[in-house]
Amino acid sequence: MVINSRVAMGMQRLFIIAVLIGILLPALVGAKQTVTFLICSTHMRQIATGWQLYADTN
């Protein structure tokens, strides 16, 4: 079976893209988890600061 060179190049490009997605996807998931943690910790710090300011004035 002879494969046209254009088809072969297209298949190689698809394979490379699939491999890159497979490598990058776990890193993106980890980055999303880190951002979620940072947002949550920032909110908790703001709540603690508000409670401390309230306690200091009352």
Give the pLDDT score at 41. 97
State the DSSP string of 1-58: ----HHHHHHHHHHHHHHHHHHHHHHHHHHHHHHHHHHHHHHHHHHHHHHHHHHHHH-
Is residue 1 very low, low, confident or very high in pLDDT (cuts 50, 70, 90)?
Answer: low
Structure confidence by residue, pLDDT tens digits, 16-46: 999 999 999 998 999 999 999 999 999 999 9
In the predicted model, what is the mean pLDDT of the chain? 90
Residue 33, pLDDT score:
93
Instruction: State pTM to two decimals.
Output: 0.57
- The answer, yes or no, to whether residue 3 has pLDDT greater than 60, is yes
